[in-house]
Amino acid sequence: MRISHQMLHNQSTQRLQQSSVRMADTFAQASSGKKLLRPSDSPHGTVQAMKLKQQLGEMEQYKTNQSQSALFLDEVDNKLQNMSRILQRVQELGVQANNDVMFSGERDVIQNELAELTKELQSLASSDINGEKLFPQVGAEKQIIVGKGVAVEVTLTAMTPFGGEDGLFATVSEMSAKLAANEHVDLDGLQTSFDRLTDALAVVGARKNRLDSIQGRMEDSKLENTKMLSKIEDVDFAEILTKLKSEEAVYQAGLSATSKLFTSSLVDYLR
C-alpha cells in the first residue's frame, strides 16, 4: 500500500507542477499581452516575428529618408516657383524697355530693378540645405534611398532649370547690357528661360508625385506587417483570461486531490 500511495502521490505532484507551470505561463502572457514569452513557445512564430520587426525597422529608416526627400523637393520647388515669378517680372521690364517712347531715365529705373532681381535670382540659384546645393553646377543629382532598391533624385543640376552658356543668367546679363546701350531686349530669350524653369518645375512635380506614391505603398505595407506581427505576438485578452480561469480551476482541483491523497496516505501509514 505504501508503494502504491507513493506512486500516486508522485504522479499527482508531477501533474500539479505541470499545471502550475502552465498557469504561470498563461498568467505571464496575460500580464505582458504577448503570446511568445520565449523562442521555444513557437520557433516558427519567433522567426516570423523577427523578420517582421526587421522589415518594420527598415521601413522606419525609409520613412526618415522619405521625409528628407520631401524636404529637398519642396525646397527645390519653392525656389523654382520664386524664380519663375521673378523672371515674369523681368519679362515685364523687357516689354517696357522695348517701348520706343521710353526716356533714358526710365530705362535707368528698369536697369536698377533688373540688377536687384538678378541678385535675387542668383541667391535662389545658390540655395542649399545643410551645405548641399539644390542646383549643383557639377556632379550628379543627389539621390536618397526611399525604399528597398528605390531611389529618388531630390536636386537638379543647374543645367536643367538655368541652361548653359546661353541660359537664364546669360540672357538676363545680355538684357542689362542692352538696356545700357539703349537697344531692344531679346524677349524670345527670356521666354526660353521661363519655359526652361517651367519644365524643371514639371520634373520636380513628377518626382514629388512618385515620392507620394512610394510613401502611400509603404504605409500600406507597414500597416499590414504590423497587423501580422500583432497576430503572431499579441494575446486575445478575452481568450487568455478565460484560459487562465480554466487553468486556475484545474490547478485548484489538482491541489485538492493531492491534499486528500497525502492525508489518506498518512492515515494509512499511521495505521
Q: Is 195 in the same domain as 263? A: no
Residues 23 and 113 in one domain: no
Q: What angle do CA 43, 46, 51 make, to 5 degrees?
A: 130
User: Which range (42-56, 156-170, 213-227, 252-266) has the least confidence?
Assistant: 252-266
Question: Are 106 and 15 contained in the same domain?
Answer: no
Res 106: pLDDT: 87
Q: 205 and 127 in one domain?
A: yes
pLDDT score, position 101? 77
pLDDT at 230: 82
Q: How many residues does the chain have?
A: 271
Per-residue model confidence (pLDDT) at position 145? 97
Please state the rounded mean pLDDT for residues 146-167: 94
pLDDT average, residue stretch 79-91: 98
Do both 66 and 188 map to the same domain? yes
Query: What's the total number of domains in the chain?
Result: 2
Asked whether residue 181 falls in the same domain as residue 245, the answer is no
- pLDDT value for 51: 94
Per-residue pLDDT at 159 exceeds 60: yes
Cell numbers at 135, concatenated: 542646383
Can you read off the three cell numbers belonging to residue 153?
533624385
Average pLDDT over residues 82-95: 97
pLDDT of 79 over the 60 cut:
yes
Res 139: pLDDT: 82
50 lies in the same domain as 147? yes
Residue matched to cell numbers 533624385: 153
**Residues 73-94: what's their mean pLDDT?**
97
pLDDT band at 138 (very low <50, low <70, confident <90, very high): confident
Residue-wise pLDDT tens digits, 198-254: 999 999 999 999 999 999 999 999 999 999 988 887 676 777 677 767 767 666 766
Which of residues 249 and 143 earns the better pLDDT score? 143
Least confident of 15-24, 93-102, 123-132, 231-240: 15-24
pLDDT beyond 90 at 37? no
Same domain, 96 and 193: yes
In one-letter notation, the amino acid at residue 81 is Q
Whether the predicted pLDDT of 15 surpasses 90: no
Burial of 77 (0-12, 13-18, 19+ CB in 10 A): middle
Looking at the structure, do residues 26 and 72 belong to the same domain, yes or no?
no
Say if residue 89 is in the same domain as residue 222. yes
Domain CATH number, residue 101: 1.20.1330.10
What mean pLDDT is reported for the chain? 85
Contact partners, residue 147, CB within 8 Å, separation at least 6: 62, 214, 218
pLDDT the model gives residue 49: 87
Q: Does 19 have pLDDT greater than 80?
A: no
Return the residue matching grid coordinates 515620392: 211
SS (H, E, C) the chain: CHHHHHHHHHHHHHHHHHHHHHHHHHHHHHHHCECCCCHHHCHHHHHHHHHHHHHHHHHHHHHHHHHHHHHHHHHHHHHHHHHHHHHHHHHHHHHHHCCCCCCHHHHHHHHHHHHHHHHHHHHHHCCEECCEECCCCCCCCCEEEEECCEEEECCCCCHHHHCCCCCHHHHHHHHHHHHHCCCCCCHHHHHHHHHHHHHHHHHHHHHHHHHHHHHHHHHHHHHHHHHHHHHHHECCHHHHHHHHHHHHHHHHHHHHHHHHHHHHHHHHHHC
As a whole number, mean pLDDT of residues 246-265 equals: 63
Q: Which residue has the higher pLDDT, 168 or 271?
A: 168
Give me the pLDDT at residue 130, please.
93
Residue 26 in this model has a pLDDT that exceeds 50: yes
Q: For 105-130, b where at least 16 C-beta lie within 10 A, e where not — what string? A: eebeebbeebeebbeebeebbeeeee
Tell whether 244 and 153 lie within a shared domain: no
pLDDT of residue 16: 63
Q: What is the predicted pLDDT for the residue at 45?
A: 85
State which residues form the domain around 15. 2-35+236-270
Answer for the pair 221, 59: CB distance below 8 angstroms, yes or no. Answer: yes
- For residues 121 and 226, membership in a common domain is answered with yes
